[in-house]
Amino acid sequence: MTHRIPRRFITAVATASIIVTGFSAVPARANEDEIGGLLAALLGLAVLGVVANKVLDDAEVTHTHRPRPVKRQLLPQECLRSIHVKDGRMRVFGRRCLKANHIRVSQLPGQCKRRFPTARGTRKGFAARCLRRNGYKLARY
């Protein structure tokens, strides 16, 4: 695992090291011209540090975010029914079958719930196309 050091910290350390190096290179006795030159150099470094921080603050930082992987829940193939309705055929997953296969039907998308007629009366289930659009897949086992 790598750690990223903030740019401001790096800039501050670099500026401080340049300043310390400048002090250690100064002779013990200096005349007024040398002191003026040193102060001018320090002022220049300070301005340079401020400008560098300003540029880094203004720089546009772009982050790339990966989308979270969709957790695809598999639905048992044995629960898939093809029923005839007045508009044609409809593929549904039977609610009882899903429950018998330990699928939590309360967590399936509500907009996919359907009632459909069978020879034994009206049954409840979930539209296969709607479930597929919501990230569910048919288990092929």
Each residue's pLDDT tens digit, 1-60: 455 667 777 777 777 777 767 665 555 565 677 777 878 888 888 888 877 777 766 666
At residue 78, the pLDDT reads 92
**Is 1 a domain residue?**
no
Tell me: do 46 and 87 sit in the same domain: no
Q: How much is the pTM?
A: 0.47
Tell me: do 21 and 78 sit in the same domain: no
Tell me: do 98 and 127 sit in the same domain: yes
Give me the mean pLDDT over the 124-139 stretch.
Answer: 90
| Strand ranges in the chain using DSSP code E only, listed in sequence order | 74-76, 80-85, 88-94, 113-118, 121-127, 137-139
Domain containing 96: what range? 74-139
Tell me: do 39 and 14 sit in the same domain: yes
**Is 66 a domain residue?**
no
